[in-house]
A and B are shown apart, each in its own frame.
Chain A
Amino acid sequence: MALTNDTIKLKLQEKFGEAIIDIAEPYGMLTFTAPKDLNLKILQYLFDEEELKFRFLTDLQAVHYPDRKGEELMVVYHLHNLVDNIRIRLKVYTDVKDPKVYSATALYQSANFMERETYDFFGVNFVGHPNLIRILNVDEMDYFPMRKEFPLEDQSRVDKDDEMFGRG
């Protein structure tokens, strides 16, 4: 019997019970949310379980929701089952004042650079990462550019005409 979204849902709920919330299937891809303490346990379960076999981490990113107070930063893991060709998405929410999430580098080597990029742009502190430093931006940068509170434009220009940018 081929693996379907319903089977995955059942197995997850059987194992983790009430911790899996917000299950949705946008465009056919199963998406669920979990508390941040369980993220490694869920990833490990999805990896080890013979029927599930989600052994490929496609993407690890973050999104900043400034309106959700107390859980502004969301780290999202995209996993792929290469044998049955099923993808799922795991979302984990964390606070912007103290964003700590357990690092998935022990399980997936590819998470190393992706977590560095997420740290560089959102400031999410991955506990247990071997080398969490900036990867794409200049090392001396002291803010996190992709958070919605920071300006996109370079603040060092003095010759910009405010009228042309709608600010005059």
Chain B
Amino acid sequence: MRPVQFNSKLKMVEAPEGMMGDGFMATSFEKVVGLARKNSIWPLPFATSCCGIEFMATMASHYDLARFGSERVGFSPRQCDLLMVMGTISKKMGPVLRQVYLQMAEPRWVLSVGACACSGGIFDTYSVLQGIDQVIPVDVYVPGCPPRPEAILDGFMKIQDLVGQESLRRRNGDKYKELMEVYGIQ
């Protein structure tokens, strides 16, 4: 019987720099935690309109999002790290989005996909919220109408960079508290 050889070219993530010894390796805790977190982000797709379809394409097999570690997308904010807001958010939906964000546990990141979520897009009108950063703090903005799946993946990779380099004390620091004050979040 011929041995099955499917994915023989495994890609491994680079180990962080540290001291290697006989059976142990010593690195900084932040680096390890950052490495673990960034390669296993669980996103919450808040897909509202057309960008949601692009997200579906991104999650599908051609432009796989699962290879970045987000195999499991959750639809419950209590279990997710990344809130991906995709699509037009109307003013009536604003408080709902804020409620979803408040229900997420720290550490949490927000990825705003598409022109409508970033700034209201072409819908400069009385009913559309001109950018979700009027209600929640955003980490990465992906422009496009709609952005191609490659662009969404690029935004996701930037979130991964942010996650990997985030200091473990950031969420307790003053700057973060000030940011939350601006949005009125405790």
* A contact residues vs B (CB 8 Å cutoff): 136-138, 141, 145, 150-154, 156-157, 160
B130 with A145: CB separation less than 8 A:
no
Per-position contact with A for B60-88: 1 when CB-CB < 8 Å, else 0?
00000000000000000000000000000
Give Cα A157–Cα B128 distance, bound, in whole angstroms.
Answer: 12
B125 with A153: CB separation less than 8 A:
yes
B125 with A138: CB separation less than 8 A:
no
A154 with B120: CB separation less than 8 A:
yes
A157 with B125: CB separation less than 8 A:
no
A-B contact pairs, 12 of them (CB 8 A): A137-B126, A138-B127, A141-B126, A152-B125, A153-B124, A153-B125, A153-B126, A154-B125, A154-B130, A156-B130, A157-B124, A157-B130
Beta-carbon nearest neighbor of B126 in chain A:
A145
Give Cα A152–Cα B91 distance, bound, in whole angstroms.
Answer: 15
Determine whether B92 belongs to the interface, using a CB cutoff of 8 Å to chain A: yes
Smallest CB–CB gap between A95 and chain B, Å? 24
Beta-carbon nearest neighbor of A137 in chain B:
B127
Give Cα A17–Cα B138 distance, bound, in whole angstroms.
Answer: 65
Beta-carbon nearest neighbor of B131 in chain A:
A157
Give Cα A160–Cα B125 distance, bound, in whole angstroms.
Answer: 13
Per-position contact with A for B1-21: 1 when CB-CB < 8 Å, else 0?
000000000000000000000
Smallest CB–CB gap between A148 and chain B, Å? 14
B124 with A145: CB separation less than 8 A:
no
Contacts of B130 in A (CB 8 A): 154, 156-157
